[in-house]
Structure 1
């Protein structure tokens, strides 16, 4: 993803807007495409708010699809560049064999219980913080965890948007 000014992104047509900002929400360019209707944006925060509103108004099935588009943490699979960079920054690409097996087991437990992968904004967190949070959140109820996962998506996308949009 590049770095753009608000002036630039406000000038894009819907297709370009979705193509360039569609990756903010993991494999879900529909969020950017719908948020485009709220242009012009006077700040990155306003743009982010419009995107979160799109997710909120999309309803349950679309939200589950969005959550399910996220990779399992620590998984050694193909993922977006943003996800790979974020997980690497938290040390999830440097797990020893025991940590890796434990994280995979927690991922399976979480996904079986909730029906979507564990999602957390990893920026500023260590692998130990992430594993502890995953252990704790496996004990949550489904509705509370669905809300928490969407909240974490909001945090992740805010960080990504801060990296993508520069002041005019």
Structure 2
């Protein structure tokens, strides 16, 4: 993937295959989000593109939404340790300091990931860009008390924030 952001005009000129190739990984291992969002082109501005991706997530049925959530890696989990994260996930987690944790911090994250997953049946999802590991931990612990339906909706909102950040990195105004 090129590191140069695309112009919106270039995005709007792409055929469907090129669009999905370029943006199919915006939503973690869920190219269907880009396929659906691409149908809203041409986008008048980047915000409309972000909204099309968000709408694709919100308009999906609950099974597709759950699959999207399940496609996300645990924060500071096994995939991170094994070096199996997607490049953007790796960068986002590193930016929050999740790649530089003490053994105690890693153990705490592992415990919270397990408790959260057992309680809600999905991984804990937080748009960590701009956050510190302490802020991530605080959010983790605060959200454990949410009712399941609220937490499902919160996780979807966090996916939409992740999508926004990634699109802002890839597409210029």
- Could you list the structure 1 runs, at least 4 aligned residues long, displaced by more than 4 angstroms after superposition: none
- CA displacement, residues 89-118 of structure 1 (integer Å, 9 cap, x when unaligned): 000000100100110000000011111100
User: Which residue number corresponds to residue 150 of structure 2?
Assistant: 144
Aligned to 2:70: 68
Give distance in 2, aligned partners of 1:56 and 1:159. 17
**Aligned ranges for residues 86-165 of structure 1 at < 5 Å?**
86-165=92-171
Structure 2 unaligned residues grouped into runs of 5+ = none
Instruction: Give the whole-Å Cα distance in 1 for the aligned partners of 2:104 and 2:69.
Output: 27
Which range is displaced more, 18-27 or 80-89? 18-27
Specify which structure has the higher proportion of helix.
1
Report the TM-score when normalising by structure 2: 0.94
Question: What's the CA shift string for 1:13-44, capped at 9, x where partnerless?
Answer: 11110110111111111111111111100111
1:4 alignment partner, SS class: coil
Q: Which residue of 2 aligns with 1:27?
A: 29
CA distance, structure 2, for counterparts of residue 29 and residue 44 of structure 1: 19
Unaligned regions of 5+ residues in structure 1, if any? none
